[in-house]
Structure 1
Amino acid sequence: MCRGISGVLTRNVRDLKDRVTWQSALAELLGTCILIVIGTGTCIGKDWEANTPTIVQISLTFGLAVATVVRCIGHVSGGHINPAVTCAMLATRRVTLSKAIIYIVSQCLGAIIGSAIVMAITPADYMGDLGQTSVSSSIKAFPRAVAVEAFITFVLIFTIFASCDANRHDLSGSTPLSIGFAVAFCHMFAIKYTGSSMNPARTFGPAVVGGTWEHHWVYWIGPITGAIFAGLIYEFIFASNATPAKMRKYFSDPDYVGDRIFVHSIESNGHHDGHSDDVKKLNDRV
């Protein structure tokens, strides 16, 4: 047991010293910043030249923005751009605690910078609430709001784990696009309830810059809870290599490391579109 704990500590310290960790952190900051500028920028515009954004417009923008960013930085950091995704990866031991903390801090900083950019480029008369998420006044009990955020984040994380399962050979098409579609249709469903965050950083950035914190806790508790449940359920029940032995090892072996993921496109024959050496390099980063 002591040797196992020592191994965990060694991996955490190694990640802190690894240049790739900090390169990945910068990618997460930039990616989250881009997502916030494009996503929340689309939410702004009510009565601005009669250009009131629609639910479909907002949903597609967030979905396509996520897909694009994941495609751009997936080979560097895994393309989390969301603390809930990072928490799911931590819960399934795909990342160390030190790397998870660095990622989440980077994502939140990127969200703040993105919101500041939106504020800087938007005329004051049309700035509104900077695209902040808010719980609908029609929801009387806040557990409902938490449940909505947990559910849509569950769907997102389940999609990520299923689409990036390196042991599957039945996949085809673009992995980032499938993730983007999940974001889009979850927005179409949940905007009327909670504004559809499913990403604590997406809510945190506008809250910091805009100074509005009402019901902010909903957007951390809900998404992180849903993300962890989705990650563990896929890992030990639905993954292509899920077995009781795998679950026992997770709970008994401190050295257990979760299966690596692949975030790029899959060719029509079901095989990854990169060479094996490229896959290994990506696995070492994520």
Structure 2
Amino acid sequence: MPISKIAIGNSSELSRPDALKAALAEFISMLIFVFAGEGSGMAYNKLTNNGAATPAGIVAASLSHAFALFVAVSVGANISGGHVNPAVTFGAFVGGHITLLRSILYWIAQLLGSVVACLLLKFATGGLETSAFALSSGVGATNALVFEIVMTFGLVYTVYATAVDPKKGDLGIIAPIAIGFIVGANILAGGAFDGASMNPAVSFGPAVVSWTWSNHWVYWVGPFIGSAIAALVYEIFFINQNTHEQLPVTDY
């Protein structure tokens, strides 16, 4: 069972060069991702004079986040694994693929990367607001929670299938593309309802800089629940050593 593989880690791990390099890679990847993703939203607001959201705006947000995440995951993959998301890190922890202490190091780096990206955006745009994630009119916290759980489940399941599964083979660049695509698709599905975060760090940076915390808990609880479910499902049914594997064709 995955729960048996969960490890706390050793405190000495936090000072190891590889762990510090991995944390730095997560910081830089998150900065790249949030600067591009949040920046595209700020540019849209400027062009429309903070007008109401439109289908074109949601499509633009979907594409910018998909492209930016593809790059952010790709540049960090060989150093940190390219998590670029505290929920992805949590899913890897639940599956026993990263220790708790290293996870905490990643989380700190990811949150700092998001905050710094938003501060840079605010400075570079002459003080424009970095809009925090918020629920749309008529959408309750419970509705948004379900959206975040399901969307993050899809994201982390994709991460497991394309990047974590030892049977994945040599997928190469396919993993970052698939991860970027599922995030872009989920933004098209949920962007009009709760902003489609799927990433606590992406929500945290704008919230800190704008100091807006309304329903912020949704963007933590939902992704963490969704990632844990995805990790457990994939580990139990597809990675577990007792999983049935189809016989080679030559054995029939």
The answer to whether 1:184 aligns with 2:187 is no
Identity %: 33
The answer to whether 1:202 aligns with 2:202 is yes
TM-score by length of 1: 0.76
| Structure 2 match to 1:34 | 32
Aligned ranges for residues 1-286 of structure 1 at < 5 Å? 8=7, 11-46=9-44, 48-50=46-48, 54-124=57-127, 127-128=128-129, 130-139=130-139, 141-164=140-163, 165-169=165-169, 174-239=174-239, 242-243=241-242
How many residue pairs get aligned? The number is 235
Separation in structure 2 between the aligned mates of residue 70 and residue 163 of structure 1, nearest angstrom = 12
Q: Could you say if the C-alpha distance between residues 118 and 143 of structure 1 is closer, same or farther in structure 2, counting changes exceeding 3 Å?
A: same
For structure 1, the 5+ residue unaligned runs are: 246-286
- Post-superposition offset of 1:17: 3.3
State the 4+ residue runs in structure 1 displaced beyond 6 angstroms. none
- Post-superposition offset of 1:170: 8.7
- Post-superposition offset of 1:171: 5.1
Counterpart residue type for residue 184 of structure 1: G
Counterpart residue type for residue 228 of structure 1: A
Q: Secondary structure at the match of 1:233?
A: helix
For structure 2, the 5+ residue unaligned runs are: 245-252
Q: Could you say if the C-alpha distance between residues 109 and 172 of structure 1 is closer, same or farther in structure 2, counting changes exceeding 3 Å?
A: closer
- Post-superposition offset of 1:13: 2.8
Q: Secondary structure at the match of 1:216?
A: coil
Q: Secondary structure at the match of 1:137?
A: coil
Separation in structure 2 between the aligned mates of residue 8 and residue 154 of structure 1, nearest angstrom = 22
Counterpart residue type for residue 236 of structure 1: I
- Post-superposition offset of 1:132: 2.1
Separation in structure 2 between the aligned mates of residue 91 and residue 42 of structure 1, nearest angstrom = 33
In the TM superposition, what whole-angstrom CA distance separates every residue of 1:224-269 from its partner, at most 9, and x where no partner exists? 1000100110111133x55269xxxxxxxxxxxxxxxxxxxxxxxx
Separation in structure 1 between the aligned mates of residue 132 and residue 62 of structure 2, nearest angstrom = 14
Q: Could you say if the C-alpha distance between residues 172 and 147 of structure 1 is closer, same or farther in structure 2, counting changes exceeding 3 Å?
A: same
Counterpart residue type for residue 54 of structure 1: G
Separation in structure 2 between the aligned mates of residue 8 and residue 203 of structure 1, nearest angstrom = 27
TM-score by length of 2: 0.86
**Structure 1 contact 135–145 (Cα < 8 Å) conserved:** yes
Separation in structure 2 between the aligned mates of residue 187 and residue 46 of structure 1, nearest angstrom = 16
**Structure 1 contact 235–242 (Cα < 8 Å) conserved:** no
Separation in structure 1 between the aligned mates of residue 36 and residue 191 of structure 2, nearest angstrom = 17
**Structure 1 contact 150–222 (Cα < 8 Å) conserved:** yes
**Structure 2 contact 59–188 (Cα < 8 Å) conserved:** yes
Separation in structure 1 between the aligned mates of residue 93 and residue 7 of structure 2, nearest angstrom = 13
Separation in structure 2 between the aligned mates of residue 209 and residue 105 of structure 1, nearest angstrom = 16
